[in-house]
Amino acid sequence: MCDKQLGAAPEAETEPVKGPGWFARLRAQPGFKTAAVAFVLTVILGVGGPAAYAYWSDSTSVSISGKTVRPPLPTLQGDVRCGWNGSRVVISQPTPVSALPGGASVVMRISDPKGTTYYTVSPREYVRLIDVPGLEDRLRWGNSLSISYATAYLNGNAAPNIGLVQETDLLDFKSLAWTKEASAYYRASFFCER
């Protein structure tokens, strides 16, 4: 019996391995010449290197995206009160909030009859109207004021003390839950509406 299988079509025997060693055995493998040419083109001449690097770089890139969601704001309950603290008119929050989410503040809205609206950060349970920056300078004798409160997120950092903010500083302005208004008026000083 010969090296060929019985019943197989007659064909030439594979080339005998010329010489001993691993390179001779490697060269005898089918497709060796094609693989050697591809190796030379890719590695030595650099053909295909940029494409391979680009593919490798793209396959290892990672992108992470996320969206931060602010906690809901607590709603102030009850009525705003106009009262006195010593000889000064004060406007008290309806229900002081003990804990606000990070970045949130209590904001007071003051509207005068000329249609001007002021927003102030209110870090305390009550605010003396005389302490609101520049408010007294903008008023005339007999001007009445409408005052309400809301909790709000502000652009940037809230002032640690009472400070005027712009309407554009209030995020989601249209959805703010303003409290029922209290009234005060100005005649050389501030007074509560009777």
Spatial neighbors of 93 by CB under 8 A, at least 6 apart, are: 76, 80, 106, 122, 125, 126, 149
DSSP 106-167: EEEEEE-TTS-EEEEE--SSEEEGGGSTTHHHH--TTEEEEEEEEEEEBSSPPPSS-EEE-G
**What is the secondary structure of 33-98 as a DSSP string?**
HHHHHHHIIIIIS-TTHHHHHHHHHHHT---------PPPPPPP-SB-EEEEETTEEEEE-SS--S
Backbone angles phi, psi at 38, to 5 degrees: -60, -40
Number of Cβ within a 10 Å radius of residue 134: 9
145 versus 66: which is more confidently predicted? 145
What local confidence, expressed as pLDDT, does residue 75 receive? 82
Amino acid at 71: P
At 102 the three-state DSSP class reads coil
Record the pTM. Answer: 0.60
Residues 20-62: tens digit of each pLDDT: 787 788 788 888 888 888 777 777 666 666 666 666 666 556 6
Angle at 120 between CA 115 and CA 124, to 5 degrees: 140
Q: What is the pLDDT, as a whole number, of residue 13?
A: 57
The fraction of the chain above a pLDDT of 70, given in percent, is 75
Distances (CA, A) of 165 to 30, 36, 162, 171: 80, 74, 10, 12
Lowest mean pLDDT among 56-60, 99-103, 134-138: 56-60
Q: Containing H/E element for 24?
A: helix 22-27
